[in-house]
Amino acid sequence: MALQNNPGQASAEQPRFPIRFITDTRWTWFWMIVRLYAGWQWIAAGWAKLNDATWVGSKAGVSLAGFLNHSITLAAGVHPNVQPWYAWFVQNIILPQVAAWSYVVSFGEFLVGVGLLLGILTGLAAFFGGLMNFNYLLAGSVSINPILLVLEIGLVLAWRIAGWWGGDRWLLPALRRIRIRR
């Protein structure tokens, strides 16, 4: 413990490694691997949906409705896989507009993947990817969702360097200059 000016007060020192791990550009290589892996997963999932008429097209919403209706059935029992409050949300908020949400999911997955692969607005893309993974988990789908959620939490924390070898290296400073000029 490091002592402060007041001899009666003590405080814990900041751990150096965790801070450097998410802020030091020497760790960019690691975050680029994480970003590319997560981005590829999102691109693949989004691309498959964008080329499926039951997600985007003449039958939009059919696949999503099937997934969500199954998740509602998982809300029964003493220890349900889907919490009743989330089943209510799905049934009353999402399902009435399932076709529109099907487009949101399909394009959202693809755009998150593009952002992560290109390193453009990496922190924002990872946040929205994590939000989707969290919702998929709440709907009872495990699959790769917990892995991607953990990786995306890391990317959100390391947003300053996660896109350093990508578009953020130039985009983020340009956005700061635009904000300062106002």
Averaged pLDDT, 23-52: 97
38 touches 155 (CB < 8 A): yes
Residue for token digits 């922190």? Answer: 123
Q: For residue 177, name the pLDDT band (cuts at 50, 70, 90).
A: confident
Radius of gyration of the CA atoms of the chain, in A: 21
What is the spatial distance between Cα 88 and Cα 86, in angstroms, rounded to a whole number?
Answer: 5
Q: For residue 3, name the pLDDT band (cuts at 50, 70, 90).
A: very low
Whether the predicted pLDDT of 51 surpasses 90: yes
